[in-house]
Structures are given as C-alpha cells and as structure tokens.
Amino acid sequence: MAKASSDRNTIDLFGKSPGRPRTQPLTRKDQLKLNKRAQREKEKAQGLKRLELIVEQDIIDKLDELCELNGIKRAEWLTLQINKSLTKSKAIKSPKKSAKPVSTTISAE
C-alpha cells in the first residue's frame, strides 16, 4: 500500500514515530550517573568533602527541626556548630591575659 502525498487521513507509514523527538541519547540511569559525577567534581573544585553519618532517626528529626527553625540546611547547621565549638574550646584553652599596663617606678633616694 503506497501512501499518497495528498492523503492527510493515512497515518505516516514511513516517517518517524509521532511524539516528541528524543533529546538525550543516554538512558535515564546513565544521565543520573553523569550528573552525579559532575556534581561531585563541582563540589571538589569548591573545596568541599562528602561526609556520611549514621545516626538514629530521632536525632535526624531533631536536627531537621533545628535547621527549619534557623532556615538553613543540615550541612550549614553542622558547620556552624563545629566552628562555634572550636572557637569556644580555643577560648578556654588560651585564657586572655590582662591588658593592664605594668608600671615600673624607680624611686630616687
């Protein structure tokens, strides 16, 4: 059966299948793999490192609540707490010396 060029009722028998053209030659699994690799390389270029923690679910819930209250992400909250704790421990280890000037008077006798 041949297709007439003027026939608009006959489905295109010899052309491409109907629908949106395929834009990505890779499968979804391969796309995700490439995107994840690119994300890791981007983080590495920014000087970031990945950290995996295994904690109980109730701790995660509390952490999420704290992050929501402060409007920040988990990683940001943990970074802030580590920095705060580090500066606090440095302050305890090195007590501040008094800034009072030491006066030395020489008496002339």
Name the band, by pLDDT with cuts 50, 70 and 90, for residue 109. Answer: very low
* pLDDT (tens digit per residue) in 37-81: 999 999 999 999 988 999 999 999 999 999 999 999 999 999 999
Report which DSSP code applies to 48: -
* pLDDT (tens digit per residue) in 4-40: 656 566 655 666 666 777 777 888 999 999 999 999 9
Report which DSSP code applies to 85: H
Give dist(CA 31, CA 36) in Å, integer.
Answer: 9
pTM of the model: 0.53
Report which DSSP code applies to 56: -
Give dist(CA 63, CA 60) in Å, integer.
Answer: 5
